[in-house]
C-alpha cells in the first residue's frame, strides 16, 4: 500500500484579518443562549467593551429564557439566524443545569448545531459560553446529582462538560466560570450573582463581557476603558483577573484541529464493495474522496462498488477554514481486487473465544486488527481473542495480487455467566459476591475457582458465592465442560483496598452504567474511562445475540426500539465477565 500525506497551510491573510498586534478588528458574532446571556444584555455589553478598546462587535442574538441547545436546534428563529450566514463566531450557551442533568443531549445537540453552523458558515468558529455553578449549589438537583450540592462541585462539573463539548466541536471556549471562580476565591467582596444566586449581577456580566472580548478579539483586556458603571477599582480587578486567567493562557481554551485525511477501508458484502472510514472522525472538516475510477464523493463515510477487478488509488482530501486561513490535508492509498477473494471462517458451526480462524489457501498472508498489521502471517490465526474478537481481517496474495477480506464480525458463544455483589468490606459489610446465570440458576456442571491476591481459595472451589469481609484483590473464573466451548473461561476481577488512614478505595468492574432502566426506545451507556477496542453486545434472556456495536466514546446511546419487551444483558468484549442487565418495556 502506498500512503502520502500532504498538509498545506495558507496563513498569508493574517495581516489582512487584523490579527497582528493591536490593529483594529471587526467581528460578526451570533449569540444563542438564554437568560444568562440576556440578563444585562451581554452581547451589547461586549460591544461596548470592544468599542472602548478600539474594536467593533457586530452581533445578533436569540436568548429565550431556559433554552437548551436542543431548543435552539429546533427553533426557527435560531436556525434562520444561523443560515443567514456571515458569522465569524457563533456563541453556544446551554441552560444552566443542562450540561450535568442532560449531558448526552447537551453534547449531541451542540454537535448538531455546529454541523448546521458549518453548513452555512464554513469558516465560522463555534465558541461555547462556559457558565458557572450556582452560588451555594443547586439544592433542587442535589439528591440526583451529588456534584451539584455545592458551588465548587457544580462549577467543576460544568467546566468539564463545556471543555468536552468544545473539544468535540473543534472550536473555542470562553471560560467565564474560570474567571468567576478566581474572583470568588480572591476577591469575595465582588458580588457576581444576582439575588437569585444563579444569574449574573452587573459585575458578573462585566466579567463575562471582558472574558468574551479576549476570546473573540484575542487582545489584552486591560486595553478596555469601559467600566459599565462599576467602581473603577472593581472593574480594574476584573480586567486584570481576565488577563491572568484567560489572556495569558489563550491556547488552553482553543480546541481547533487541523484537517486530517488518514483513513481506513473495510470490505463490504457486495462484489468489490468497500467502506471508507476517516481515522480522525472527530474533526470538523469537509471531505472529497476520489475512488480512482472516475467517481467521487463528499460524504464523511462513503461506500463504493468497483465494476471491475484491478488496482485503484483512492485519494481523500480534507479541508477547513477559520479566521486565520484555509487548511488542506491529502492522503492516498492503493487497493486491489483480484480473481480470488479471501474470507475468514472457523472449523465448526459455532465460535469460541479462543478458537483458531482460517482463510483460504494462498501464496502468502497478512492478518490485520482494525486495519493495523499484526505479526501473524500464516493461513490461520490461533487464539484470535488475544487481539480482540472484532476488527480482524486478512490480506492474502495469489500470483502477485493482494486482496483484503471482510472484517470478521461473528460473536463467540456466551455461556451466560455474570457476577454481582453489594456492599463494601471497608465499611464493615460482608459482601456476598455471587456467580449468576441469565437463566436464573446454575447447571451444576460449572468449574468455579475463586482467588484472593492471586492465591486459589481451595475451600471455595465450585462454590457459587464468596463471602468477602476483608480487603484484597479477588478473581473468579467460571467454565463449563458440558458446552460447545469447554475451554473458554468467564472471569471477573475486583479489588477492595482499605488503607490505614481511613480512606476507602473500591475498584470494581464493570466500568459502564446505563440509563434509563427500564427503557422503551433508547438506552444511554456511560463508561468510567475511555473504551479501547471495546465492543458492546446485547443478549436476550436465553443468550441469543440481539445487538452488536463498537464502543467509540465515553458516552453513547443504542436504539432498542426494535427489541421485544423483556430482560436483556449487555456485555463487553474486553471485559467478558462484565454484565449489566436492563429491561425493555
Residues 318, 268: one domain? yes
Among 199, 222, 253, give the residue marking a domain's end.
Answer: 253
Cα–Cα distance between 367 and 394 in angstroms, integer?
Answer: 4
Residues 245, 313: one domain? no
Specify whether the CB–CB gap between 146 and 165 falls below 8 A.
Answer: no
Cα–Cα distance between 51 and 59 in angstroms, integer?
Answer: 13
Residues 240, 102: one domain? yes
Torsion of CA 258, 262, 266, 268, to 10 degrees: 60
User: Which residues make Cβ contacts (< 8 Å) with residue 517, sequence separation at least 6?
Assistant: 523, 582, 583
Residues 277, 231: one domain? no
Domain count, the chain: 4
Q: Does 2 reside within a domain?
A: no
Q: Does 203 reside within a domain?
A: yes
Residues 152, 93: one domain? yes
Would you state the pLDDT for residue 126?
Answer: 96
Q: Does 404 reside within a domain?
A: no
C-alpha cell recorded at residue 286: 469537509
Element (H, E) at 161: helix 151-169
Among 508, 534, 565, give the residue marking a domain's end.
Answer: 508
C-alpha cell recorded at residue 562: 426494535
pLDDT in tens, the chain (585 residues): 333 333 333 333 333 334 445 679 999 999 999 999 999 999 999 999 999 999 999 999 999 999 999 999 999 999 999 999 999 999 999 999 999 999 989 999 999 999 999 999 999 999 999 999 999 999 999 999 999 999 999 999 999 999 999 999 999 999 999 999 999 999 999 999 999 999 999 999 999 999 999 999 999 999 999 999 999 999 999 999 999 999 999 999 999 999 999 999 989 988 999 999 998 767 889 999 999 999 999 999 999 999 999 999 999 999 999 888 899 999 999 999 999 999 999 988 899 988 999 999 999 999 999 888 999 999 999 989 888 778 899 999 999 999 999 999 888 888 899 888 888 898 889 999 999 998 889 999 999 999 999 999 999 999 999 999 999 999 999 999 999 999 888 888 888 888 644 433 444 444 678 878 888 888 888 877 777 777 888 888 777 788 888 886 777 888 898 898 888 888 887 666 667 888 888
Would you state the pLDDT for residue 90?
Answer: 98
Domain that holds residue 452: 417-508
CA nearest to 474, candidates 486, 488, 489, 460: 460
- The pTM assigned to this predicted structure is 0.68
Residues 313, 426: one domain? no
In the DSSP assignment, the letter for residue 564 is P
From the number of C-beta atoms within 10 Å of its C-beta (0-12, 13-18, 19+), residue 382 rates as exposed
Cα–Cα distance between 472 and 440 in angstroms, integer?
Answer: 29
Pairing mode of beta strands 465-468, 504-508: unpaired
Would you state the pLDDT for residue 82?
Answer: 97
At 143, is the secondary structure helix, strand, or coil?
Answer: coil
Would you state the pLDDT for residue 577?
Answer: 60
Q: Does 495 reside within a domain?
A: yes
Domain harbouring 181, CATH code: 3.40.50.1110
Q: Does 407 reside within a domain?
A: no
B/e letters for 540-565, b = 16+ CB within 10 Å, e = fewer, are: beeeeeebeeebeebebebebeebee
Residues 325, 204: one domain? no
Place of cell 450540592: 149
Per the omega criterion (within 30 degrees of 0), is the bond before 7 cis? no
Among 455, 480, 508, give the residue marking a domain's end.
Answer: 508
CA nearest to 464, candidates 419, 505, 495: 419
Domain harbouring 541, CATH code: 2.60.40.3080
Residues 558, 468: one domain? no
Cα–Cα distance between 36 and 66 in angstroms, integer?
Answer: 9
Q: Does 358 reside within a domain?
A: no
Q: What phi and psi, each to the nearest 5 degrees, are found at residue 75?
A: -90, 130
Q: Does 17 reside within a domain?
A: yes
In the DSSP assignment, the letter for residue 12 is T
Cα–Cα distance between 168 and 180 in angstroms, integer?
Answer: 24
Residues 211, 99: one domain? yes
Would you state the pLDDT for residue 363?
Answer: 97
Cα–Cα distance between 345 and 94 in angstroms, integer?
Answer: 50
Would you state the pLDDT for residue 511?
Answer: 65
Q: Does 319 reside within a domain?
A: yes
The predicted-structure confidence for 510-569, as pLDDT tens digits, reads as follows 467 887 888 888 888 887 777 777 788 888 877 778 888 888 677 788 889 889 888 888
Cα–Cα distance between 454 and 457 in angstroms, integer?
Answer: 9
Specify whether the CB–CB gap between 125 and 87 falls below 8 A.
Answer: no
Residues 191, 272: one domain? no
Per the omega criterion (within 30 degrees of 0), is the bond before 518 cis? yes
Domain harbouring 276, CATH code: 2.60.40.10
Residues 155, 212: one domain? yes
Residues 461, 555: one domain? no
Amino acid at each position: 500500500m502506498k500512503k502520502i500525506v500532504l498538509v498545506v497551510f495558507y496563513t498569508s491573510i493574517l495581516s489582512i484579518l487584523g490579527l497582528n498586534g493591536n490593529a483594529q478588528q471587526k467581528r460578526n458574532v451570533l449569540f444563542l443562549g438564554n437568560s444568562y446571556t440576556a440578563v444585562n444584555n451581554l452581547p451589547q455589553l461586549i460591544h461596548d467593551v470592544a468599542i472602548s478598546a478600539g474594536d467593533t462587535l457586530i452581533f445578533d442574538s436569540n436568548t429565550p429564557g431556559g433554552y437548551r441547545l436542543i431548543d435552539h436546534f429546533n427553533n426557527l428563529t435560531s436556525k434562520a439566524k444561523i443560515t443567514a450566514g456571515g458569522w465569524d463566531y457563533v456563541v453556544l450557551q446551554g441552560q444552566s443545569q443542562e450540561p450535568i442533568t442532560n449531558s448526552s443531549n447537551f453534547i449531541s445537540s451542540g454537535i448538531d448545531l455546529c454541523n448546521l453552523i458549518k453548513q452555512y458558515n464554513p469558516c465560522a468558529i463555534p465558541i461555547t459560553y462556559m457558565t458557572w455553578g450556582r452560588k451555594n449549589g443547586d439544592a433542587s438537583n442535589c439528591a440526583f446529582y451529588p456534584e451539584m450540592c455545592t458551588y465548587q462541585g457544580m462549577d467543576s462539573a460544568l467546566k468539564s462538560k463545556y471543555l468536552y463539548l468544545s473539544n468535540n466541536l473543534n472550536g473555542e471556549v470562553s471560560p467565564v466560570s474560570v474567571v468567576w471562580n478566581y474572583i470568588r476565591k480572591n476577591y469575595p467582596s465582588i458580588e457576581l450573582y444576582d439575588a437569585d444566586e444563579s444569574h449574573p449581577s452587573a459585575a458578573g456580566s462585566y466579567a463575562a463581557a471582558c472574558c468574551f472580548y479576549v476570546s473573540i478579539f484575542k487582545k489584552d483586556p486591560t486595553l478596555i476603558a469601559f467600566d459599565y458603571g462599576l467602581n473603577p477599582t472593581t472593574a480594574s480587578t476584573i480586567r486584570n483577573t481576565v488577563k491572568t486567567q484567560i489572556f495569558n493562557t489563550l491556547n488552553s481554551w482553543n480546541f481547533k484541529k487541523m484537517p486530517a485525511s488518514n483513513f481506513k477501508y473495510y470490505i463490504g458484502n457486495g462484489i468489490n464493495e468497500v467502506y471508507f472510514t476517516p481515522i480522525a472522525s472527530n474533526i470538523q472538516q469537509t471531505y472529497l474522496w476520489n475512488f480512482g475510477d472516475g467517481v467521487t464523493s463528499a460524504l464523511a463515510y462513503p461506500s463504493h462498488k468497483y465494476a471491475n477487478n484491478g488496482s485503484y488509488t483512492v485519494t481523500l482530501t480534507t479541508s477547513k477554514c477559520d479566521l486565520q486561513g484555509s487548511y488542506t490535508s491529502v492522503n492516498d492509498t492503493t487497493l486491489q481486487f483480484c480473481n480470488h477473494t479471501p474470507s475468514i471462517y472457523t472449523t465448526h458451526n459455532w465460535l469460541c473465544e479462543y478458537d483458531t480462524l482460517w482463510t483460504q489457501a494462498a501464496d502468502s498472508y497478512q492478518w490485520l486488527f482494525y486495519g493495523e498489521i499484526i505479526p501473524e502471517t500464516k493461513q490461520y490465526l490461533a487464539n484470535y481473542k488475544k487481539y480482540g474478537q472484532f476488527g480482524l481481517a486478512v490480506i492474502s496474495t495469489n500470483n502477485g495480487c493482494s486482496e483484503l477480506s471482510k472484517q470478521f464480525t461473528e460473536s463467540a458463544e456466551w455461556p451466560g455467566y455474570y457476577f454481582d455483589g453489594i456492599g463494601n468490606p471497608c465499611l464493615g459489610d460482608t459482601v456476598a459476591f455471587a456467580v449468576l446465570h441469565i437463566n436464573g440458576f446454575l447447571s451444576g456442571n460449572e468449574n468455579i475457582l475463586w482467588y484472593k491476591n492471586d492465591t486459589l481459595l481451595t475451600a471455595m472451589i465450585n462454590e457459587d458465592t464468596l463471602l468477602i469481609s476483608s480487603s484484597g484483590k479477588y478473581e473468579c473464573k467460571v467454565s463449563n465442560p458440558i458446552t460447545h466451548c469447554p475451554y473458554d473461561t468467564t472471569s471477573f476481577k475486583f479489588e477492595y483496598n482499605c488503607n490505614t488512614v481511613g480512606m476507602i478505595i473500591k475498584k470494581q468492574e464493570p466500568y459502564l452504567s446505563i440509563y434509563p432502566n427500564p427503557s422503551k426506545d433508547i438506552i444511554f451507556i456511560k463508561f468510567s474511562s475511555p473504551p479501547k477496542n471495546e465492543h458492546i453486545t446485547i443478549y436476550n434472556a436465553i443468550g441469543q445475540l440481539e445487538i452488536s456495536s463498537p464502543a467509540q466514546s465515553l458516552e453513547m446511546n443504542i436504539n432498542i426500539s426494535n427489541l421485544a419487551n423483556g430482560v436483556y444483558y449487555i456485555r463487553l468484549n474486553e471485559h467478558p465477565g462484565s454484565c449489566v442487565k436492563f429491561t425493555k418495556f
